[in-house]
């Protein structure tokens, strides 16, 4: 009898917990959907760089990069991103580097993609090779050195055909590289440009990433701040280029690009990183110089999160 009383009260407690959890879930979901993710944090935290240390460092200028495109057409993500880079309240006229798939039929390998490549460079952005293969997103590490070299030359020719110019940097698909692929890049005079911070909007993408995009970028720039403090990053022309990776094939990224710009500036401030004015590259020549310098130095690069 005693046992059965304990048992039923335990059952009751369990049912109550299940009911509370269900109510909490039902109640929480609409709130999460309706309340916009705060752009400016109210949470006080210790910046990774103290004002004294920051004062001795070159100010940060974000160097934005986009992988996998072009994503063209009426609903294409690349034009949506271009409009926001050109016209936004954070830093109008931002210039970025687009690492494109030049030969894939749904990317740069068709007339729409080629028109998009022309529009992108006509707006002052730089194009560079991600993949020059019709098969598209094949890791360079899976290609023989000869095939890799041919695909990179072909990709560069595809970009030159549309833009008249190709930036001498490369971003490998899946960010997969080794001594062999790096030797091929060097042989072709290409610098491998990885990134200091990533939006993680490539392979892993979902609502949980989008909701955490702000806190994620704060932690990315906290790591950048530590690299700056220990002089693992070198300034270029008086500013500290911080390479940030996005994917212009991601329609969430495209529809939130302006917010991402604000998040980067806010996350830098939260970490005590000094910011250049403007805090993003707006000059194509300076952008290219910074990209080539960073690729050549290769002192600090992310190896994960394509």
Closest distance to Zn ion from the beta carbon of 121 (Å): 19
Rounded distance between C-alpha atoms, residue 65 and residue 279, angstroms: 15
Q: Distance between CA 258 and CA 18 in Å, rounded?
A: 40
Task: Tell me if 108 contacts Zn ion by CB under 5 A.
Answer: no
Q: Judged by CB under 5 A, how many residues of this single chain contact Zn ion?
A: 3
What's the Cα-to-Cα distance from 143 to each of 155, 176, 264, rounded to whole Å?
Answer: 15, 11, 36
Contact region with Zn ion (CB under 5 A), list: 16-24, 141-149, 172-180, 266-274: 172-180
Residues 6+ apart with CB under 8 A from 267: 214, 217, 218, 220, 221
How far, in Å, CA of 55 to CA of 139, rounded? 41
Q: Which stretch binds Zn ion (CB under 5 A): 11-19, 117-125, 170-178, 295-303?
A: 170-178
Closest distance of CB 47 from Zn ion, Å: 33
- Which of 69, 79, 136, 173 contacts Zn ion by CB under 5 A? 173
When the beta carbons of 154 and 289 are compared against Zn ion, the nearer one is 154
Q: Are 175 and 304 in contact (CB under 8 A)?
A: yes
199 three-class SS: coil
The CA distances from residue 20 to 7, 138, 175, in Å, are: 20, 48, 44
Q: Which is nearer to Zn ion, 67 or 201 (CB)?
A: 67
| Nearer CB in complex with Zn ion: 139/278 | 139
Residues 54-73: x where in contact with Zn ion by CB under 5 A, - otherwise, as a string: -------------xx-----
Nearer to Zn ion, 68 or 222 (CB): 68
Residues that bind Zn ion (CB under 5 A): 67-68, 173
């Amino acid at each position: 009898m005693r046992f059965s009383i304990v048992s039923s009260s335990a059952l009751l407690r369990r049912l109550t917990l299940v009911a509370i959890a269900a109510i909490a879930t039902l109640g929480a979901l609409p709130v999460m959907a309706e309340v916009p993710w705060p752009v400016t944090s109210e949470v006080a935290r210790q910046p990774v760089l103290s004002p004294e240390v920051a004062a001795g460092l070159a100010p940060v200028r974000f160097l934005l990069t986009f992988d996998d495109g072009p994503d063209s057409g009426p609903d294409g993500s690349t034009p949506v991103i271009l409009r926001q880079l050109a016209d936004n309240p954070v830093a109008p006229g931002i210039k970025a580097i687009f690492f494109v798939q030049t030969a894939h039929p749904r990317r740069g390998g068709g007339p729409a993609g080629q028109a998009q490549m022309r529009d992108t460079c006509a707006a002052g952005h730089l194009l560079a090779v991600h993949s020059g293969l019709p098969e598209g997103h094949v890791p360079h590490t899976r290609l023989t050195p000869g095939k890799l070299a041919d695909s990179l030359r072909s990709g560069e020719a595809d970009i030159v055909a549309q833009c008249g110019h190709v930036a001498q940097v490369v971003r490998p698909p899946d960010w997969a590289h080794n001594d062999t692929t790096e030797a091929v890049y060097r042989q072709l005079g290409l610098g491998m440009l990885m990134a200091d911070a990533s939006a993680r909007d490539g392979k892993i993408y979902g609502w949980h990433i989008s909701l955490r995009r702000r806190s994620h970028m704060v932690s990315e720039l906290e790591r950048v701040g530590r690299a700056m403090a220990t002089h693992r990053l070198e300034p270029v022309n008086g500013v500290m280029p911080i390479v940030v990776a996005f994917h212009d094939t991601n329609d969430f990224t495209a529809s939130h690009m302006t917010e991402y710009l604000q998040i980067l500036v806010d996350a830098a401030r939260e970490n005590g990183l000094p910011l250049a004015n403007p805090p993003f590259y707006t000059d194509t020549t300076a952008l290219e110089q910074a990209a080539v310098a960073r690729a050549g130095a290769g002192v600090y690069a992310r190896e994960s999160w394509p």
